[in-house]
Amino acid sequence: RLELDAALATSLNEEQRAAVEAGEGPVLVIAGAGSGKTRTLTYRVARMLARGVPPDSLLLLTFTNKAAREMLRRVEELAGGFADVGRLMGGTFHHAAHVLLREHAGALGFSTAFTVLDREDSRDLMATCLAERKLRSDKRFPRPDALLELVSLATNLQQPVSQVLVERRPRMLPVAPEVFATARRFQQRKAQMHLMDYDDLLAHLKRLLEEHPAIRAELSARFQGVLVDEYQDTNRLQGDLVDLLVGERRNLTVVGDDCQSIYSFRGAEFTNIIDFPQRYPGCGIYPLTRNYRSTPQVLRLANAVIARNTRQFPKALVSDGAPGPVPQVVPTRDVKGQAAFVTERILALRAQGQRLESMAVLYRAHLHSLELQLELARHGLPFRVRSGVRFFEQVHVKDALAHLRWVHHRADELAFKRLVRRLPGVGAASTERLWTALEALPPELPLPQALTHPDVLAHVPRKAQAGFQRFQALMIRLDAGGPRGPGALLADVLAAREAPATPDADDLRAEDLRQLQEFAERFEDVPRFLSDIALVSEFSAQGALDGEMPDDVLTLTTVHQAKGLEWRSVFVLGLVDGRFPLSLATRNPEDEEEERRLFYVAVTRAREALWLVYPHTSLPREDGRMLLTPSRFLAELPVGPDAVCESLPPPEPDGPIRVRELGPDPEPEP
Ligand code: ATP
Ligand code: MG
């Protein structure tokens, strides 16, 4: 405890200490990036423990499991000597709701052994509900993912599905009655079967607290302190849950930065943090004004970025750090050049003694990192893609690739089985039999003859006939196409997907596959494409087989997943208008401000060195390269004496560059 006191005195500045030592009651810390909000929260927890608050009466909420683990580790370091930190309830909102519902779901008529549905399961269930209403095959009807998204938004915003549909998904209006009926059915089915998806965990907990005052009283008596990090990204439902849990005691600490609110597309309301003083009158407000993360150069750039937003809580932020290099804006020839530039810089930094784990590459969407993943693998640079699965290892991506693999290499047993197993009506046993029959045929037999050979057909289960025929047809088409590139082949595969790609922006998998196809267009021959991708996969499989990745690993991450984290050297990629900001997000000023906050989150991850990189032109096409427009966020950075960055010149052209033709000027207003 003495050590903790010493740490409080030496490891915090006065502003931070004031927030840590604030007495009971509501506390709001609203401050800029890197000002020590998370650190302050951690110390506040440790101090409460030091003052004898039992660990199991504290609830510490954050947005990702990783952030939660990190904070608990820090609390353990500070308070582990005198408190059993393992008993503290810390984690994501979903985690906490899950634990509490396991105790109390009975009151809602649920079995406490309820099953939690992951995203995949929910999707299957939604697909079943559609099938029951015979809407599954109607191509104009929204896909299961789009419906899930809608239901999820309604839950998180705490609004009726009808309102969300009208306000946020007007495209669904023509089929609204059927959408409502399906959504209702989906909810009923879950309740009947004692299933909860992620959103239900929160929604049911809220209902429990509202409808059962005794349980609510018990829980708010249990939690003597509730603390929330990244409060700006809570949505209505999460905000309400926190309010219900803290109860009369109002012993709530929230920290956040409205300028880093980046989840409004999922219903986050940064008004939660702005309006906190109204909801908790008399709360203590603790500003933090020193930035400990970044050099003054990085911070100057970050401040220039966010100054463009009109909607924000005014905050001052000054750097505490030693000066460092001026951030660089780097145009490269194209996306390949971008991957090469980043790889080269990373190799150079490593040669100077910097560890890979102190570097990160950030981008708006995973697609922007595919070239880089290949380039890093070619150079043997170990990397980890945050947010779990690497792009090429996702099931649906592997499934699509399996078509190309098998057509090009008929002995690829894994690819064949992967494809056949997915066919409706084919089980594991028939998959084996089909493969054995196929393998027994002479290898020189052309693919169409092999797939229609009586020995093979004999093993197709009767109920799988239709599916197998579609499979045959597709494979024969892929095989017949003559020398075609991987892009063209994948286009065929996508066109033959069970749910033909109605352009539905909400269907994430279709989007992944479109990205894969677009990426494949960059390759001329299939073997090269497949071997490059295999290289990336093998590269990561190696790590997985050895039990763990090498301990010094580079991070690749979307900006969303980088929230709250920091690295010594940061690269932000793909800063092209339409990609970052996404073109979808520039249709109205609010969305554009959210994208700018996202850019602000990106640049404030850097401690020392920051590179803002973009491809100057597209990859070469028959008629030359196309000029790309740098991100408007780069164009907004001040130039001249107030410049906050150093802009490198674009590379010399290696051929004709075309400029996208602009349409005629709009007619002047009369
Ligand atoms: P973000 O807005 O990105 O979540 P934050 O406000 O939560 O940032 P922290 O992550 O807590 O900021 O702190 C940023 C960095 O500054 C960390 O490396 C932290 O250790 C360091 N830091 C914070 N306060 C101090 C301090 N008083 N003395 C030294 N270093 C500090
Ligand atoms: Mg933080």
Q: Which two tokens stand for residue 53?
A: 């608050």
Pocket of ligand 1 (CB under 6 A): 11-13, 16, 33-39, 257, 260, 292-293, 564, 566, 604
pLDDT value, residue 332: 97
Please tell me the distance between residue 231's alpha carbon and the centre of ligand 2 in angstroms: 10
**What is the amino acid identity at position 319?**
S
Distance CA 204, CA 201 (A): 5
Identify the residue whose C-alpha is closest to ligand 1 atom 4: 564
At 506 the pLDDT is 37
Question: Residue whose CA is closest, atom 30 of ligand 1?
Answer: 292
* 157-197 confidence digits (pLDDT tens): 889 999 999 988 888 898 889 999 999 999 998 888 888 88
Give the β-pairing of 554-558 and 195-196.
unpaired
pLDDT above 90 covers what percent of the chain?
Answer: 50
Expressed in angstroms and rounded, the spacing between residue 277 Cα and the centre of ligand 2 is 21
Give yes or no for residue 545 having a pLDDT over 50: no
H helix or E strand, kind and range, residue 218: helix 213-222
Ligand nearest to the CA of 67: 2
- Return the closest-CA partner of residue 321 out of 33, 608, 36, 38: 608
Candidate of 10, 38, 273, 603 to mutate for ligand 1, largest count of ligand atoms within 8 Å of Cβ: 38
The pLDDT mean for the chain works out to 86
**What does the pLDDT average to over 301-326?**
88
Distance of alpha carbon 163 from the chain centroid: 26
Buried b (16+ CB within 10 A) or exposed e, 107-116: ebebeeebee
What six digits make up the tokens of 425? 């009506």
How many whole angstroms from 293 Cα to the centroid of ligand 1? 6
Helix (H) or strand (E) holding 93: helix 93-104
Q: What's the CA-to-centroid distance between 71 and ligand 1, angstroms?
A: 12
- Record the tokens describing residue 51, joined without a space: 């003052």
Nearest to residue 85, comparing CAs of 96, 72, 95, 97? 72
Question: Whose atoms come closest to the Cα of 261: which ligand?
Answer: 1
The CA distance from 120 to 5, in Å, is 48
Checking if the pLDDT of 483 tops 80, the result is no
Q: Is the pLDDT of residue 645 over 90?
A: yes
Helix, strand or coil for residue 228?
strand
- Three-state DSSP at 90 gives strand
**Atom 31 of ligand 1, nearest CA residue:** 292
Checking if the pLDDT of 544 tops 70, the result is no
Give the bridge partners for 28, in sequence order. 254, 285
Mean pLDDT of 507-528: 78
The larger pLDDT score, comparing residue 234 to residue 268, is at: 234
* Average pLDDT for 649-668: 70
Amino acid at 143: R
Which two structure tokens, joined as six digits, stand for 38?
Answer: 């998370």
Nearest to 192 by CA among 83, 259, 294, 114: 114
Say if pTM beats, i.e. exceeds, 0.90. no
Structure confidence by residue, pLDDT tens digits, 199-220: 999 999 999 999 999 999 999 8
- For the cut 60, the answer to whether the pLDDT of residue 558 exceeds it is yes
pLDDT value at residue 609: 97
Which of 8, 37, 39 to mutate for ligand 1's pocket (most ligand atoms within 8 Å of CB)? 39
Q: Length of the chain, please?
A: 670
Q: State the average pLDDT over residues 263-267.
A: 81
In sequence order, the β-bridge partners of residue 617 are 627
Choose the residue to mutate in 15, 43, 292 for probing ligand 1, maximizing ligand atoms within 8 Å of C-beta: 292
Rounded mean pLDDT, 225-237: 94
**pLDDT score of 641:** 86
Ligand 1, closest atom to CA 256?
2
- Return the closest-CA partner of residue 489 out of 473, 500, 472, 477: 477
Q: How confident is the model at residue 316 (pLDDT cuts 50, 70, 90)?
A: confident
**Distance, CA 309 to ligand 2 centroid (Å)?**
21
Of 16, 14, 24, the C-alpha closest to 42 is 16
Higher pLDDT, 559 or 267: 559
Amino acid at 270: F
Identify the pLDDT of residue 437.
93
User: How many A from CA of 232 to the centre of ligand 2?
Assistant: 11
Tokens linked to 462: 């009767």
Q: What is the pLDDT of residue 354?
A: 96
At residue 571 the predicted structure's pLDDT band, cuts being 50, 70 and 90, is: very high
Give the span between the Cα atoms of 114 and 136, in whole angstroms.
Answer: 28
**pLDDT tens digit sequence for 108-132:** 988 887 777 777 678 778 888 887 7
Q: By C-alpha distance, which of 288, 359, 415, 357 is closest to 17?
A: 288
Higher pLDDT, 96 or 529: 96
Residue 663's pLDDT is what? 47
- For residue 44, the CA-to-ligand 2 centroid distance in Å is 14
Distance 86 CA to ligand 1 centre (A): 24
Annotated binding-site residues read 31-38
**Helix (H) or strand (E) segment spanning residue 117:** none
Is the alpha carbon torsion for 454, 456, 461, 465 positive or negative?
negative
Q: Which residue has the higher pLDDT, 298 or 110?
A: 298
Ligand 1 atom nearest 230 alpha carbon:
4
User: What pLDDT, on a 0 to 100 scale, did the predictor assign at position 547?
Assistant: 46
Complete DSSP assignment for 540-609: HHHHHHTSS--SS-EEEEETGGGTT--EEEEEE---BTBBTTBGGGGSSHHHHHHHHHHHHHHHTTEEEE
pLDDT of residue 52 exceeding 70: yes
**Contact present, 44 and 8 (Cβ < 8 Å):** no
- The residue contributing the CA closest to ligand 1 atom 13 is 36
Atom number of ligand 1 nearest to Cα 292:
16
Q: Which ligand is nearest to the CA of 257?
A: 1
Q: What is the pLDDT of residues 60-94, one digit of tens each?
A: 999 887 788 889 999 999 998 899 999 999 888 98
Measured from the Cα of 605, ligand 1's closest atom is 3
Q: How far apart are CA 595 and CA 12, in angstroms?
A: 32
Residue 507's pLDDT is what? 54
Q: Residue 669: its pLDDT value, please? A: 35
Residue 151 has pLDDT above 90, yes or no: yes
Run of H or E including 350: helix 335-351
pLDDT band at residue 361 under the 50/70/90 scheme:
very high
**Which two tokens mark 621?**
């096409």
